[in-house]
Structure 1
Amino acid sequence: MKPHVVAVNISEKKGTIKHPVPEISLKIDHGIQGDAHAGNWHRQISLLAQESIDKMTALGVKGLTPGIFAENITTADIELFSLPVGTRLQVGEAELEVTQIGKECHHHCQVYRQIGMCVMPAEGIFAKVIVEGTLRAGDEIRILP
């Protein structure tokens, strides 16, 4: 299959699990309208592959749904963590630039506390908005030259 968006997720308050929404609106120098982590910084949007979530499910973690790792965009059929910083992605109408691979997990999430590990710090990526647009589940993802 072609790389695509599985779900788009937001949280209205920091420190809460993100939940899927029908669509998200991306703005330059901001990120996602209505998301608590939006702002003019390098981690405007977080992405995590469904395949990474499936690894955690295979380890016995129950109830993993899109947004539970605080990712804004859940993807499929693209190995996000292998993309170099600076990679540009066409996601639906929008264009993103990869700004960070992984992150330090300062306050271990519920999943980490349950099984002693979490996939987001190693396999999640962050991006900033280069071209504005609206994203929905099913939108295609293309790596730009």
Structure 2
Amino acid sequence: MAKVIAINISEKKGTIKKPVSKGLFIENHGLEGDAHAGPGHRQISLLGQESIEKMKSKGLEGLCTGKFAENLTTEGIILYEIPVGTKIEIGETIQEVTQIGKECHGGCEIKRLTGECVMPKEGIFTKVLKTGIIRPGDEIKII
């Protein structure tokens, strides 16, 4: 089963996201209280725990949920294989995949330490189509 293992939030851009017990995901806005929320096509960022494990296997210590600035850390689904335009149900929300990967910003700590980062190839972005709460353990279903 594909599921959410962490909801991560940061109040300021450029800071590591911290896990929270639940999040309110608002239609056409993103995660309430997150510095990156707002209109546009990159409202929510998702990264699989499997991708984080890949970076850990390269010798990086201290990696945990939120270190890649992802709002949702997932498990049991290969996110970057979900086509753009696909709708997914996560918790009470419905979201649409809008982008696969992204360019790391100039100060990406992970890229600086290892020479690479998984977000450019394996992270995905969605926009919120239906408002709702997401909690760790909530199932992820492709609609």
Using the size of structure 2 for normalisation, the TM-score is: 0.98
Q: 1:119-134 residue pairs with structure 2 within 5 A?
A: 119-134=118-133
State the AA in 2 paired with 1:75.
Answer: T
Instruction: State yes or no: 1:90 paired with 2:89.
Output: yes
**For the residues of structure 2 that align with 1:108 and 1:3, how far apart are their CA atoms?**
32
Structure 1 residue 23 corresponds to structure 2 residue 40: no
Match of 1:54 in 2: 53
Question: Separation in 2 of the partners of 1:52 and 1:6?
Answer: 13
Distance 2:92 2:137 in 1: 12
Name the structure 1 match of 2:64. 65
Shift of 1:29: 1.6
| 1:107-128 residue CA offsets vs partner (Å, 9 max, x unmatched) | 2411111111100111000000
Q: Distance in 2 between matches of 1:108 and 1:102?
A: 17
Structure 1 partner of 2:101 = 102
Equivalent residue of 1:29, what SS? coil
Task: Show the counterpart of 2:142.
Answer: 143
Q: Deviations over 1:44-103 (max 9, x none)?
A: 000000000000001101001100000000000000000110011100110110000001
Identity %: 58
Distance 1:31 1:90 in 2: 14
| Residue of structure 2 equivalent to 1:38 | 37
1:14 aligns with 2:16: no
Quote the RMSD (CA, aligned, Å).
Answer: 0.7
Q: Distance in 1 between matches of 2:45 and 2:136?
A: 15
Report the residue type matching 1:115 in the other structure.
T
**Aligned partner letter, 1:3:** A
Q: Structure 1-normalised TM-score? A: 0.97
Runs of 5+ in structure 1 lacking a partner?
none
SS in 2 for 1:71: coil
Structure 1 stretches of 4+ moved >2 Å: none
| Residue aligned with 1:56, SS | helix
Could you tell me how far apart the structure 1 residues matched to 2:105 and 2:90 are? 29
